[in-house]
Amino acid sequence: MIEISHLTRKFEHFTAVDDLSFTVAEGEVLGFLGPNGAGKSTTMKIITGFLAPSSGTVRVDGHDITENPMAVKALIGYLPEGAPSYPDMTVLEFLDFIAEIRGFSGQEKSRRIEQVINDVALGSVCEQSIDTLSKGFKRRVGLAQAILHDPKVLILDEPTDGLDPNQKHQVRQLIRNLAKDKIVIVSTHILEEVSAVCTRAIIIANGRIVADGSPQELEARAPTAAGLTEAPSAPGRLEAFFRSITEQGAL
């Protein structure tokens, strides 16, 4: 379980995360939503140990991120925005490097690399250097390194950014399968993705939680648009609700 209690992060006179408290349980796929500057990326960087909180606590599987950061990082697979990697390495070299960093060697290392290559469909580009790949393939390399060590917690920032519709479907199915015995947090601006894969959604604005519920519950709270003759699609309802609580002056 991830337990976040009264989490705050300040940058000089700006408060990016303002007294956040929530928990995420095993088996949940949490959509973590908000407009640009809402505090999403800052929160994820604190959970993963890239930033220290100004106050409050984050516990992952009972480990406090401030007191025992290495134990927490060992439990987490993280796909940050931009999918940073070593562009001069081939895909295979990069995944081999990540596997060794995670402590694998020999047959177990080879097995895990082969598994993620199959899971994320990287077989056709294994020998290419990462800087020659398309944006979508680079994203898939980032996803492969995040799941290579079979983490208990997956934190994915825009996991389908740059993917074509078929690739998006494949990655969403992979997330559903992984979520059976993991905690998955997905930050995305693609609200269709939330409806497709998430069991729960939290929306934040100005560093605070403004909504928390299943996608269906949030869709049901969407305002009715004037002039509509039929109900909008589920992603359309979620988008309408998102705008209604995050647009300037809506809070």
Each residue of 197-210: pLDDT tens digit?
A: 899 999 999 999 99
Whole-number percent of the chain with pLDDT over 90? 58
Domains identified in the chain, total number = 1
What residue type is assigned to position 143 of the chain? L
Q: What are phi and psi of 19, to 5 degrees?
A: 60, 50
Task: Give the span between the Cα atoms of 140 and 198, in whole angstroms.
Answer: 20
CA dihedral sign of residues 234, 238, 239, 240:
positive
CATH code of 8's domain: 3.40.50.300
**pLDDT higher than 50, residue 250:** no
175-186 residue pLDDT tens: 888 888 889 999
198 touches 29 (CB < 8 A): yes
Residues 54 and 9: beta-carbon distance below 8 Å: yes
**pLDDT value at position 147?**
93
Average pLDDT estimate for 143-154: 93
Average pLDDT over residues 134-145: 89
Pick from 2, 4, 30, 1: nearest CA to 17: 4
Q: What is the domain range of residue 12?
A: 2-246
pLDDT in tens, 77-100: 999 877 778 999 999 999 999 999
What number is the average pLDDT over the span 120-139? 91
**Which pLDDT belongs to residue 235?**
58
Assign 27 a pLDDT band (cuts: 50, 70, 90): confident
Q: Per-residue pLDDT for 65 more than 50?
A: yes
In a domain? residue 86: yes
Provide mean pLDDT across the span 27-44. Answer: 90
State pTM to two decimals.
0.87
Domain membership of residue 251 (yes or no) is no
pLDDT at 223: 79
Cβ atoms 20, 202 nearer than 8 A: no
The answer to whether residue 179 is domain-embedded is yes
What integer pLDDT is reported at residue 225 of this predicted model? 55
Query: Taken in order 167, 169, 172, 176, is the CA torsion positive or negative?
Result: negative
Helix/strand/coil (H/E/C) assignment for every residue in 129-183: EHHHCCHHHHHHHHHHHHHCCCCCEEEEECCCCCCCHHHHHHHHHHHHHHHHHCE
